[in-house]
């Protein structure tokens, strides 16, 4: 229990530091989004109207420490202000709409890549030098080196443009209204198939190589040799003795990836015009929607720290040595 409390306290401090940096960065930049927005449109405002807009979007002037206190209050109450690009919607409303789509897209792709990569990496390492190892290892290394935008654009051209098998964009058919119906769910699955598979291909190589290398390192350990000497089956030694320990670094990578996906898989979402957090962040950056960007960065920070905390606790479960320590 003391370990859990210490870790929670550590990540709470880390979140406060990240939130402070998130508060400081926009205020260190010259001007504010209101001035930028009207300068780009060659528009002018009276000083009174400008001050009213600045106050509406939460860029009110005043002592810095009071601004910081108001900002921290908004963070812990969930009131992130109004979005400039999507006004009059609030930032939390915009992010709440995009969040489920990113969880569906990036979450599904990450979990599939982790499972597929870990399983194939385990068998490739167990029979290293064999046919499976000779094929999947160079392929996975090639996938690791391929940018996500290349894979996404290649899939889009082949399956969406040339063969016309799959839709080329958005999360569901524009003619449909979101509803709890098989027609809507089928459209979501059809539109999500290509971006999910593209993203899975991007991730799977890293998990496969990591698991294979970790397994090879475990096969020379004493506990694996002892298991084989005791006459245990190859499958039991492979899974219970070698793979379980080799899985620990992959679990760390999975936790970091799951935390990062709430930042949205920006490249994939932009290519497929998928309405997730990555696409929303891209729109916020292009339109200089600082409240939206700040809200997105807070979600990314919180998700990453929460994923790290979950990995720390999972390590204790997976590794008995840590429980004794």
Domain segments of the chain as ranges: 96-289
- State the maximum Cα–Cα separation within the chain, in Å, rounded to a whole number: 85
What is the CATH topology of the domain spanning 96-289?
MetI-like fold (1.10.3720)
Tokens of 79: 């009131």
Pairwise CA distance, residues 82 & 93, whole Å: 9
> What pLDDT was estimated at residue 56?
66
Over its length of 325 residues, how does the chain's per-residue pLDDT go in tens digits? 676 777 788 888 888 888 888 777 766 766 566 666 666 555 566 667 667 766 666 665 667 777 788 778 878 787 777 787 787 788 888 888 888 888 888 888 888 988 888 888 888 877 777 788 788 888 888 887 888 888 888 888 899 888 888 888 888 888 887 878 888 888 888 988 999 998 888 888 888 888 888 777 777 666 666 776 777 676 777 667 677 777 777 777 777 776 666 655 788 888 888 888 888 888 887 777 778 888 888 888 888 888 777 777 776 666 665 555 5
Burial (CB count within 10 angstroms: exposed 0-12, middle 13-18, buried 19+), residue 103: middle
Question: Interhelix angle for 277-286 vs 91-102, to 10°?
Answer: 140
The answer to pTM > 0.85 is: no
Residue with token string 């098989």:
182
> What pLDDT was estimated at residue 217?
76
Number of CB atoms found within 10 A of residue 62's CB: 8
Tokens of 20: 């402070």
Tokens of 80: 């992130």
> What pLDDT was estimated at residue 206?
82
> What pLDDT was estimated at residue 39?
62
Number of CB atoms found within 10 A of residue 56's CB: 15
Give whole-number Cα distances, 22 to 16, 27, 283, 292, 300, in Å. 10, 9, 18, 12, 11
Nearest residue to 84 (alpha-carbon basis) of 289, 297, 283? 289
Specify the length of the chain in residues: 325
* Vertex 111: Cα angle to 109 and 112 (nearest 5): 65
């Amino acid at each position: 229990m003391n370990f859990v409390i210490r870790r929670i306290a550590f990540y709470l401090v880390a979140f406060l530091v990240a939130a402070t940096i998130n508060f400081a960065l926009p205020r260190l930049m010259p001007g504010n989004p209101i001035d930028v927005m009207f300068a780009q449109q060659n528009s002018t405002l009276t000083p009174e109207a400008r001050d009213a807009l600045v106050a509406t979007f939460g860029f009110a002037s005043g002592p810095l420490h009071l601004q910081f206190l108001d900002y921290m209050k908004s963070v812990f109450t969930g009131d992130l202000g109004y979005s400039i690009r999507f006004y009059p919607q609030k930032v939390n409303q915009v992010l709440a709409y995009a969040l489920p789509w990113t969880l569906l897209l990036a979450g599904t792709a990450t979990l599939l890549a982790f499972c597929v990569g870990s399983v194939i990496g385990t068998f490739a390492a167990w029979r290293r030098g064999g046919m499976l190892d000779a094929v999947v290892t160079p392929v996975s290394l090639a996938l690791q080196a391929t940018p996500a935008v290349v894979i996404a654009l290649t899939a889009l051209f082949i399956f969406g443009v040339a063969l016309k098998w799959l839709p080329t964009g958005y999360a569901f058919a524009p003619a449909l209204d979101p509803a709890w119906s098989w027609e809507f769910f089928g459209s979501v699955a059809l539109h999500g198939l290509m971006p999910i598979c593209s993203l899975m291909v991007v991730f799977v190589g890293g998990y496969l190589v990591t698991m294979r290398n970790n397994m090879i390192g475990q096969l020379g350990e004493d506990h694996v040799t002892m298991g084989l000497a005791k006459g245990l089956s190859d499958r039991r030694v492979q899974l219970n003795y070698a793979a379980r320990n080799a899985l620990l670094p992959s679990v760390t990578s999975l936790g970091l990836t799951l935390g990062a996906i709430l930042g949205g898989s920006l490249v994939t979402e932009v290519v497929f015009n998928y309405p997730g957090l990555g696409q929303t962040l891209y729109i916020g950056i292009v339109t200089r929607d600082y409240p939206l960007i700040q809200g997105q960065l807070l979600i990314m920070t919180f998700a990453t720290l929460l994923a790290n905390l979950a990995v720390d606790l999972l390590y204790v479960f997976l590794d008995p040595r840590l429980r004794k320590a």
